[in-house]
Amino acid sequence: MGRTTRRRATGALTAIAIVLGGGLSACSDDDDSKKGSSASSGTAASGSTAPSNGPANDLQAQYQQVVRNVLPSVVQITTTTGLGSGVVYDDKGNIVTNAHVVGQATSFEVTLPNASKPVTAKLVAAFAPDDLAVIRLDNPPNDLKPARFGDSSKLQVGQITMAMGNPLGLDSSVTEGIVSAIGRTVSEPQAADSPGATISSAIQTSAAINPGNSGGALVDLDSRVIGIPTLAATDPENNGAAPGIGFAIPANTVKSITDQIIKNGKVDNSGKAALGVTVRTVAGPNGRPAGVGVVSVQDGGAAKAAGIAPGDVITAIDDQEVPDVAALSEALGGKQPGDKVKVSLIRAGDGDKTTVEVTLGELKS
């Protein structure tokens, strides 16, 4: 499984920007998109017109059909502190989005495509570890159009993708790219409205993901949603957006979590490994992160069964150093429930260093 690091989230919601990561580079991305669209329409530099049929025009027609098929299923979600995107999941009015889009809100205004005014919605439940949430329209219209979700396990690098959402508040916007990689593990820094999720098996795409795209649709050319855009990469050198590097939660994860929330109001089968501890980052003598301090241990959890106690400091998982909470989340993100891992510890009180074997549990709501 691939692993990416140094991802940064835009934690606070604003009137025009709530997607995790991304900068104000939408104009350049949109300009490139328009140039690509113009080129594919067959207009040559000399002003001569290309034949009306051919591969370029076939592909353009396919793009346009995908937009017509999927865009009616992509909505804008507005809270008191910001806005984002969502995807109509069924005809009962359930809409799936990111947990960081809903933030701390429990009620929302949802703008449906081509609607004259927004409709109200309520939170069903959020599952922060996967950065997913479901909201439900109070009065779903009869013409609500649910999206079709694909099988993300069948994705191949190089597949054409389209990202649909409301970047910078520009409703019903579309960008295009390819599947750049699959199986990434990416982490979102924790903030007031960001759950700090670690997303395993994330889809990396070159389709532009800008503020406001969060919770929208990443779509293939068969008009199927293959992922939910959630995170854009940042360049650690200038702390700005890294163009062409965005991430989406795979559709199979979205379907599994969403189905459980709709049916039970919670998630019991996440497929995510859990250590069963509440933790915080501990600083060393130099003031830098030096490990993860155990604040509390869950009764019946994996850590307690292995003898890990409050006050212990976790320094590594299977020889992978974990200097802070984000690193611990990434280390666990590559594991499965039931996996046996070696946890390196500095014991509370005497400061002795030891290693214990832990059989990981499963993360639940």
Return the active site residues: 100, 131, 214
CB 177 within 8 Å of CB 163: yes
Q: Per 3-state DSSP, what percentage of the chain is helix, strand, and coil (rounded to 5)?
A: 20, 35, 40
Provide the token pair at 328.
């611990």
CB 162 within 8 Å of CB 172: no
Q: Say if residue 210 is exposed, middle or buried (CB neighbours under 10 Å; 0-12, 13-18, 19+).
A: buried
- CA 132 – CA 215 distance, rounded (Å): 8
What is the DSSP secondary structure assignment for residue 53, as one 8-state letter? Answer: S
CB 259 within 8 Å of CB 251: no
Provide the token pair at 294.
């155990």
CB 251 within 8 Å of CB 227: yes
